[in-house]
């Protein structure tokens, strides 16, 4: 939405005709601008096909900088896949795979020789497309030909996954060291923090390494009857629930809290938020558990939900 607002502001200053004129003269930035206006119908009639032709103009323009071309390729992935996830036609998958691959290749080549890791400057669209679509279609070799067209993007997505794995191990190590910090000490609460800390902790005399952390003042208050006997120097830790927090690694935004929802079939969903308060998040978790139980076990498959 924010992007859309920004585009709306831009569209007031220059007319579409002027933007198209510059795009036709070979300016890739303006080609992307024209494509966006035509896609959303901003002060013009939306025209999907014309929008695509401007994206292609920008993507194939050899005089344009690699970042702009890569962006145009990334936007083309959407053109071929948006709104038709279940029914993407075979030739559309190939087109999208081609554009995902180009989106990565262009910025990777540019970064060759620099210290910067090439793959991380590739767009998230391209990597997501590789992880979600290309991988699932090539895993069982349903469409093995896709691999031929996707060398760069698959490599980028593999490296991204390896990086996320390392991040996950580091997060795990950090959590193991000070498990109290990432889990609300109120027994049964279940709220966890990711890389940030819990919102409140005991400010009493208990030892720093045994201090309980809480998701809210409310939990802290409710746990006081349990903790007060332990709130002195040298006392043992009062935290009853000593399980370490669930490590998700990479996926969540920093400073968010989350609640794991354990389902009857043994799977766990992780609900995550950076804006909601803990009570609301717990309510949502309970609702999700309910919904899954009612819907039957296999219909809802999810690992991580960012709810905002």
Task: Name the residues that contact Zn ion, by CB under 5 A.
Answer: 184, 186, 189, 191, 202, 204, 206, 215, 219, 231
Compute the least distance from the CB of residue 202 to Zn ion, in Å: 3
Q: Which is nearer to Zn ion, 189 or 245 (CB)?
A: 189
Contact of 57 with 38, CB cutoff 8 Å: no
Q: Which is nearer to Zn ion, 77 or 215 (CB)?
A: 215
Compute the least distance from the CB of residue 187 to Zn ion, in Å: 9
Strands 268-273 and 304-306: parallel
Q: Which is nearer to Zn ion, 127 or 219 (CB)?
A: 219
Compute the least distance from the CB of residue 100 to Zn ion, in Å: 42
Compute the least distance from the CB of residue 214 to Zn ion, in Å: 5
Per DSSP, what are the bridge partners of residue 214?
200
Per DSSP, what are the bridge partners of residue 200?
214
Per DSSP, 247 falls in state P
Q: Which is nearer to Zn ion, 158 or 279 (CB)?
A: 279
Compute the least distance from the CB of residue 195 to Zn ion, in Å: 18
In sequence order, the 6+-apart residues with CB closer than 8 A to the CB of 257 are 191, 192, 193, 194, 198, 199, 215, 272, 273, 274, 278, 281
Q: Which is nearer to Zn ion, 45 or 203 (CB)?
A: 203
Beta-sheet strands, E only, within 159-293: 192-193, 200-201, 213-214, 257-262, 268-273
Distance CA 50, CA 90 (A): 22
Compute the least distance from the CB of residue 223 to Zn ion, in Å: 8
Q: Which is nearer to Zn ion, 51 or 252 (CB)?
A: 252
């Amino acid at each position: 939405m924010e992007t859309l607002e920004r585009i709306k502001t831009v569209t007031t200053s220059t007319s579409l005709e002027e933007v198209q004129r510059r795009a036709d003269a070979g300016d890739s930035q303006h080609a992307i601008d024209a494509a966006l206006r035509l896609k959303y119908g901003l002060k013009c009639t939306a025209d999907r096909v014309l929008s695509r032709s401007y994206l292609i103009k920008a993507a194939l323009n050899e005089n344009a900088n690699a970042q702009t071309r890569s962006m145009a390729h990334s936007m083309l992935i959407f053109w071929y896949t948006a709104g038709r996830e279940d029914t993407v036609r075979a030739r559309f998958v190939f087109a999208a795979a081609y554009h995902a691959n180009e989106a990565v290749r262009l910025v990777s080549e540019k970064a060759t020789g620099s210290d910067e890791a090439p793959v991380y400057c590739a767009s998230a669209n391209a990597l997501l497309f590789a992880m979600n679509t290309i991988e699932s279609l090539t895993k069982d070799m349903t469409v093995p030909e896709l691999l031929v067209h996707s060398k760069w993007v698959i490599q980028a997505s593999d490296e991204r996954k390896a990086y996320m794995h390392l991040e996950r191990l580091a997060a795990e190590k950090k959590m193991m060291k000070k498990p109290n910090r990432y889990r609300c000490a109120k027994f049964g609460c279940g709220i966890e923090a990711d890389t940030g800390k819990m919102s409140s902790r005991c400010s009493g005399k208990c030892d720093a390494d045994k201090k309980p952390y809480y998701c809210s003042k409310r939990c802290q208050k409710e746990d006081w009857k349990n903790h007060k006997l332990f709130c002195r120097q040298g006392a043992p830790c009062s935290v009853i629930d000593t399980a370490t927090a669930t490590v998700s690694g990479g996926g969540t935004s920093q400073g968010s809290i989350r609640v794991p929802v354990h389902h009857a079939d043994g799977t766990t969903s992780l609900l995550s938020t950076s804006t909601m308060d803990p009570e609301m998040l717990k309510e949502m978790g309970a609702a999700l558990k309910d919904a899954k139980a009612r819907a039957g076990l296999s219909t809802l498959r999810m690992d991580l939900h960012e709810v905002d």
